[in-house]
Amino acid sequence: MSISRRRLLASAVACSMTALAPSWLSLKSALAQSRAVKPAPMMPEPHFIATNGIDMAVYEKGEGLPVVFCHGWPELAFSWRSQIDAVAAAGFRAIAPDQRGFGLTGGPADPNLYDMQIFCDDLAGMLDAKGIDKAVFVGHDWGGAVVWAMARLHPDRCLGIAGLNTAAGRPPNLPALENVEPSLIVLTPNYYVGTFQKPGFAEQILEADVRKTFDFILSRGGIWNKESFSQMPENSDERQMNLLAMIQREDPPGDPFMSDEVMNYFTETYEATGFTGGLNWYRAVAKLGRIMASAEARIEVPSLYVGAENDVILPPSSADGMEDFITDLEKYTVMDSGHWTQQEKPEEVNRVLISWLKRKII
């Protein structure tokens, strides 16, 4: 995701957008079709829902009020494996899709078919296909941005919103916050959102050794330790959050903390699909301001923000001021956790989320 939605947009707009080469697209498409993506382990059997021009792969468990889980980048519905079981056991209907461009769902090659309105319409169409009027939406990272946008673009479909790590973007009709905590990240053209913009460039680096990519990105410590991060030189790849440069090191920073079974599934899936679908989310970010400019300004449904102490990209302070436009908001910070909060601290996230669901939604 980004330091803030405003800074994300600014960095993306500053980046030149180049046309995707048809020959490169054809190669990626052929590779994806030649290697089957397997259903995720530790999850219910997936099924497919036709929505908004795609066939969305959906994992579902339990009965009761529906709770839709939206993953981030470079993740999958599989990232919610610990929440699916816990939320279903608590008496809810847990629903986790592989979103547009990811995993079993896949998506169109055309980057123009990716933007926040489309992502939200995908979810609304999924509810329609399932005969669901309203749901609670829970999102992490890019999924967090989507669920906060759902509350403003499709408020009539929302029972509640919970964002992990990602705060809701401040509506443009409100004055800017004062005394904002400065980011530890030194924003330069090397910032990963900028380096993700040119089609094909990030793919070459991320796909050169997919397991190495995930061992670096889905890690704790390293760039996910606020105290040590703050002591790094301002011209370092770390402080500039130059993910592509760090991945290319022989020994990238950070310590993998998930099991081999988990890491193998992420690796095998992205070896089959490539990274283009997820990167198209970043390549669509320049359209975000225009889309959200006409959206509802206030969020009226019960809302929960869960931050993580050591998330330097999306720190808990990024949620400052959300009370200005959200009527019913609770906040919680998970201590000693980096960015991958629901996977790093699943029991704590489950406890906080289920408590909130039972108090605010039922």
Name the amino acid, one letter, at 347. Answer: E
Sequence-separated (6 or more) residues with CB below 8 Å from residue 45 = 39, 59
Catalytic residue among 114, 282, 305, 332: 282
Catalytic residue among 98, 121, 122, 141: 141
Radius of gyration of the chain (CA): 19
282 is known as an active-site residue: yes
339 is known as an active-site residue: yes
Residue 275 Cα distances to 66, 77, 83, 305, angstroms = 30, 15, 25, 28
CA neighbor of 192 nearest in space, from 7, 50, 24, 352: 7
Q: How far apart are the first and last CA of the chain?
A: 31
Q: Report residue 12 as tokens.
A: 């993306």
Name the amino acid, one letter, at 350. Answer: N
Q: Cite the DSSP H helix spans in the chain.
A: 5-13, 22-34, 81-89, 116-130, 142-153, 192-195, 201-206, 210-217, 226-230, 243-247, 260-273, 276-283, 288-293, 341-344, 346-360
Residues composing the chain: 362
Exposed, middle or buried by CB within 10 Å (0-12, 13-18, 19+), for 283?
buried
* Separation CA 79–CA 72 (nearest Å): 9
Q: Which positions are catalytic?
A: 141, 282, 339
